[in-house]
Amino acid sequence: MRAPDADDATNAAELGAALSVEIGRSVPHDGYHLIGLDPVSGTISFHVTRHGYGMGARRVLNEEYWRTGSTLPFPALFGGPTPVAVLGTAGDVPPCGVRLHEVMRAEGLGCEMRIALSVGGLACGGMLLLRARGGRPFSDTEIARAERLAAPLAVALRRFVAGRPLRLLPYEGPPGVVVVGRDDTVKAASPGVQDWLYECLPAPGGPSGSPGPAKLDHEALISSVCNITATARRAPDGTAVTRMFTARGWALLHAQPLCSAERAGEMVITIQTATAEALLPAVAAGYGITPREREVVRHALEGLAAKNIARRLELSQHTVNDHLGAVYRKLGVSGREELFACLRHRPTR
């Protein structure tokens, strides 16, 4: 089955709508969530929804989807025998667990289909298809169709990210700061967050590539904040990083705990333009850059000439230039100067 025709999508909302239409031909649904993942940290890189879970429910789902003790942790689908699972609220013993059962019922939902999306063993995202309570559940035939769709959906998702030139978000303003409380709700935000919403998350329906009006509680950003907070709380050092993909370029979210004893359990999330160094691991994974190519690029970002890179890595200069050429093609840039320009990177040497 070929990848869905989503090449005309200019932003994540348009991609979600295009994929939903394509899936709907085989698996009808009432609502959906499309999630793109940071290929390194596994946190949410972008998230769009239509007729899906509300924000309160998503805070619960953030915990349940990734918790190893839940009835069906979402990551299990990436390495399991099937990338598809169905949760429902019918029956006396809810197959999705009591907590999820309660959330789904409160949201007016009767059935959820989870589709894990991966390419070459690398998790790149997921699609949740929803049906309202009272409607028919997803059938075995529809599950089989979704299994066949998983691979082409993953290809379309990866192509949406890696099929366009690499760019950092063109925003020069100060970082935005969000404080998240112990209950995972936003307690405070710096004035710069409003500007970040305007730059990162243009309102759907506006001119392509142009920012539209935004509100502090913009759902896409709040979803990312909730997810990275939950990830940081699970991490041994209490921190987490998300490389957030937008149609205008890459941004960076960094979560860490507040250190003061009286604010224990609270988290601070910083939103800023991604740096070349922070983005390189995700670029290597998402754009198919090999370990050797990544090593060559890392030295190039240090300002080394090809002959010096060759000497350091014990390669021929011809081989180094071949690696650089392959990287430029994959990233959609013409050469080293454009690579530095699009990453707004200044060599360290």
The domain that holds 77 is classified in CATH as 3.30.450.40
The domain that holds 254 is classified in CATH as 3.30.450.20
What pTM value is reported for the model? Answer: 0.83
| 58-64 long-range Cβ contacts below 8 angstroms, 24+ apart | 58/223, 58/226, 59/184, 59/185, 59/226, 60/99, 60/100, 60/103, 61/100, 61/103, 62/184, 62/226, 62/227, 62/230, 63/230, 64/97, 64/99, 64/100
CA distances from 90 to 86, 112, 128, 304 (A): 12, 12, 18, 62
pLDDT at 283: 82
Span 320-325, average pLDDT: 94
Q: Which residues contact 269 (CB under 8 A, 6 or more apart)?
A: 177, 178, 179, 180, 225, 228, 229, 253, 254, 255
Among candidate residues 134, 162, 190, the one where a domain is terminated: 162
pLDDT at residue 348 is higher than 60: no
Residue 340 near residue 349 (C-beta atoms within 8 A): no
Are residues 141 and 73 both part of a single domain? Answer: yes
Is residue 347 one of the residues assigned to a domain? no
pLDDT at residue 133 is higher than 70: yes
Is residue 3 one of the residues assigned to a domain? no
Stronger pLDDT, 103 or 270, i.e. the higher one? 270
- Here the tokens at position 35 are 């999630």
pLDDT per residue over 250-277, tens digit each?
889 999 998 776 777 899 999 888 887 8
Are residues 117 and 225 both part of a single domain? Answer: no
Least confident of 63-77, 181-195, 251-265: 63-77
Is residue 348 one of the residues assigned to a domain? no
Are residues 63 and 102 both part of a single domain? Answer: yes
Among candidate residues 278, 298, 314, the one where a domain is terminated: 278
What residues does 86 pair with on adjacent strands? Answer: 113
Termini Cα distance of the chain: 49
Are residues 19 and 156 both part of a single domain? Answer: yes
Is residue 45 one of the residues assigned to a domain? yes
Least confident of 45-49, 102-106, 142-146, 207-211: 207-211
Query: DSSP labels for 321-338?
Result: HHHHHHHHHHHT-SSHHH
Of residues 334, 247, 313, 189, the one with CA closest to residue 11: 247
Is residue 245 one of the residues assigned to a domain? yes
Are residues 252 and 155 both part of a single domain? Answer: no
pLDDT at 301: 83
Residue 45 near residue 36 (C-beta atoms within 8 A): yes
Are residues 158 and 269 both part of a single domain? Answer: no
Is residue 1 one of the residues assigned to a domain? no
pLDDT at 306: 92
Are residues 26 and 86 both part of a single domain? Answer: yes
Are residues 131 and 112 both part of a single domain? Answer: yes
Are residues 209 and 154 both part of a single domain? Answer: no
Are residues 157 and 47 both part of a single domain? Answer: yes
Confidence band of 345 (pLDDT split at 50, 70, 90): low
pLDDT at 204: 45
CA dihedral 157, 161, 163, 165 (to 10 degrees): 170
Is residue 2 one of the residues assigned to a domain? no
pLDDT at 194: 76
CA dihedral 99, 104, 108, 114 (to 10 degrees): 180
The domain that holds 298 is classified in CATH as 1.10.10.10
Are residues 310 and 329 both part of a single domain? Answer: yes
Is residue 264 one of the residues assigned to a domain? yes
Confidence band of 211 (pLDDT split at 50, 70, 90): very low
Given the DSSP bridges, would you call strands 84-88 and 186-189 parallel, antiparallel or unpaired? unpaired
Stronger pLDDT, 311 or 282, i.e. the higher one? 311
Among candidate residues 237, 258, 278, the one where a domain is terminated: 278
Strands ordered across the beta sheet of 240-246: 186-189, 176-180, 267-273, 249-257, 240-246
Are residues 151 and 233 both part of a single domain? Answer: no
pLDDT per residue over 147-169, tens digit each?
999 999 999 998 888 877 778 88
- What is the distance between the alpha carbons of residues 217 and 232, in angstroms, rounded to a whole number? 21
Span 188-195, average pLDDT: 82
Structural domain span for residue 299? 289-342
- Number of folded domains that form the chain: 3
pLDDT at 87: 82
CA dihedral 297, 301, 307, 308 (to 10 degrees): -110
